[in-house]
Structure 1
Amino acid sequence: MIPPKPQLHSETNPLHSGPTIIAFATQKGGMGKTTLSVLVASWLHYRRGIKVALLDVDGSQLSVYNQRLRESEQMDEDTAARLDEQDIEPYPILSGNPSDVPSLLNQLAADVQLVLIDMPGNIDVEGYDTAISKLDYLLVPMETSEYSVTTGFNYLTAIKQINLLPTGRCRVVWNKYKPSRDGELADQLEERFAQYGFQALKSRIPQRDSYQDATNRSTLFAMPVAYLRNSGLKDLFTEIETLLSNHQANEPEQA
């Protein structure tokens, strides 16, 4: 059963105003940061009624922004009818570079509750620090392979060392996860991460080629419910909602 939508409006939670800002980000390519951003944005916006916006500031690619353009240009009568039936305006996708994040945030409607930022894969890009400093949560996708873990841990350590974001706002996300192979190792790695102050989300996302299908990774519609079975994504969506609720009730840990 899908849990009830959290109360996210600032008028009901006076301790926090403005949207919660989250980014899936890392320096290693192929970790699924953009895919996860779109899947989360579309599910929470279209299925859960949370007002979402997405900022695509991966200026060298703008893959999400360009995807929305393609989806709009290729829209046929059936797609237009589905949009009318859905009766929810598509969430806005704004594009730019990391240094543009403050101005892009100012362009959003006042009722936006969640902002997802698609970041570049290089921490040395101009304005990266500006974008990261605006986050409430940084979610770092990793696989359990040695190279992925080393790259992800070095990324988190760099964020910590140059004081871009408190460790309490950072989370590891196991992606492309195989329970039979990775379970024990992921548990051990989480214990090691905890020694440095880094937490992991409880949800672990298995490898699924179907997540890349246009039907599933749409910016205009949520992933079909049938694909959620044993996907780990339902748990992820619920956990993101919990982060939103906790953040609206109380600011994330600053340590």
Structure 2
Amino acid sequence: MERETLFIAFSTQKGGVGKTAFTVLLSSYMHYLDGKSIAVIDCDFPQHSIMEMRKRDSELVFSDPFYKRMAFNQFKEIKKKAYPVIASNPIDAIEDAEKLIAGSAEKIDIIFFDLPGTMNSKGVVKTLREMDFIFAPISADRLVLASTLSFASSLNENLITVGKSSIKGLYLLWTMVDAREKTPLYDAYTDAIDELGLSILNTRIPDTKRFRREMDETHRPFFRSTVFPPDKQLIKGCYIEELVAEIYQIINV
């Protein structure tokens, strides 16, 4: 029987290209703005970055009247609590996800998995092979390109094409795109990626500092939060809406 909940991971072998940031951004966008039922399994052991972010966000909501009022108004409007974030590890991630599904009062549409940035971590391959879709952020940096293409090609050759996984699709995603870079450069890279038999999303995410903005005591607009969606003004020009729409089309949600 096919699982109703989709398992999705932003995964790469190179740090600093946004796998955790995209996991949080899309989870919050889909859950709070689009009405999807989302959960996150944070198996990036031992740092558990998303779990730590949830703790910081929750503390601000409980202690700061500004955020407390925001949370009240949000719940009043969308009738949804914050999505669950479960601290796990690559070995137990799938089992923890199945427990979460079994214990949920409502159907969970998507569970995002945040995995360590290396295939050498025990259990990573075991968890990746259970994903329905994998999105690998990539930038126009030779080291990042080489590492990510090696990672994607390995998954494609050893798991996907030989039918040894649940993976329905593996897609690269251009991120940290420098507006000063010429478009033909990315087109040339994309052609090379096509020749490797890999797929890449049409949406390209620009390099912008606004992705780093989290909730803080200044109450300025923020982009990353596990309890609120990204600020609508900050979303403009970041192509997050286009990215979500393209992913929905791929995963058929």
Q: Give the TM-score normalised by structure 1.
A: 0.85
Opposite residue 233 of structure 2, the aligned amino acid is A
Q: Distance in 1 between matches of 2:52 and 2:27?
A: 16
Q: Does 1:106 align with 2:108?
A: no
User: Does 2:65 correspond to 1:77?
Assistant: yes
Residue pair 2:38, 2:111 contacting (<8 A) in 1 also: yes
Matched, 1:150 2:150: no
* Structure 2 contact 178–207 (Cα < 8 Å) conserved: yes
For residues 126 and 40 of structure 2, what CA distance do their matches in structure 1 show?
A: 17
2:81 is equivalent to residue 89 of structure 1: yes
1:162 aligns with 2:158: yes
Contact in 1 for aligned 2:138/2:174 (Cα 8 Å):
yes
What is the CA–CA distance in structure 2 between the aligned matches of 1:188 and 1:166, rounded to whole Å?
Answer: 31
For 1:82 and 1:96, how far apart are their aligned partners in 2?
A: 29
1:176-187 paired onto structure 2 within 5 Å: 176-187=176-187
Distance 2:139 2:231 in 1: 25
Tell me how far 1:179 sits from its aligned partner.
3.9
Conserved 8 A contact 1:144-1:182: no
Distance 1:118 1:104, change over 3 A: same
Task: Flag structure 2 segments of 5+ consecutive residues without an equivalent.
Answer: 215-221
Deviating beyond 3 angstroms after TM superposition, the runs of 4 or more aligned structure 1 residues are: 164-168
RMSD: 1.8
Structure 1: any 5+ residue segments left out of the alignment? 1-14, 249-255
Q: What do residues 35-57 of structure 1 show as CA deviations (whole Å, max 9, x unaligned)?
A: 11100000010000000001100
C-alpha distance in structure 1 between counterparts of 2:167 and 2:38, whole Å: 25
Letter in 1 for 2:65: E
Instruction: Note the alpha carbon deviations across 1:96-116, whole angstroms, 9 max, x for none.
Output: 111112211112225100111
1:179 and 1:198 map into 2 onto residues whose CA distance is 24
Q: Determine the structure 1 residue equivalent to 2:13.
A: 27
Question: How many Å separate the matches in 2 of 1:182 and 1:149?
Answer: 17
- Distance, in Å, in 2 between the alignment partners of 1:198 and 1:166 is 17
One-letter amino acid of the counterpart of residue 212, structure 2: Q
> Does the 8 Å contact 1:58/1:98 carry over to 2?
yes
Which range is displaced more, 24-33 or 99-108?
99-108
User: Is the alpha carbon distance of 1:194 and 1:168 closer, same or farther for their aligned partners in structure 2, counting shifts above 3 Å?
Assistant: farther
Measured against aligned partners, the alpha-carbon deviations of 1:144-199 in whole angstroms (never above 9, x if no partner) come to 11111111111112223432658861101000012441521221122221222210
Work out the number of aligned pairs and report it.
232
Q: 1:141 aligns with which of 124, 137, 140?
A: 137
8 Å contact from structure 1 (residues 51, 114) kept in 2: yes
Separation of aligned partners in 2, 1:238 and 1:155: 25
Partner of 1:208: 208
Alpha-carbon distance between aligned partners in 2 of 1:184 and 1:21, rounded to the nearest angstrom: 34
State the Cα deviation string for residues 225-247 of structure 1 (Å, max 9, x = none). Answer: 111221121111111222232xx
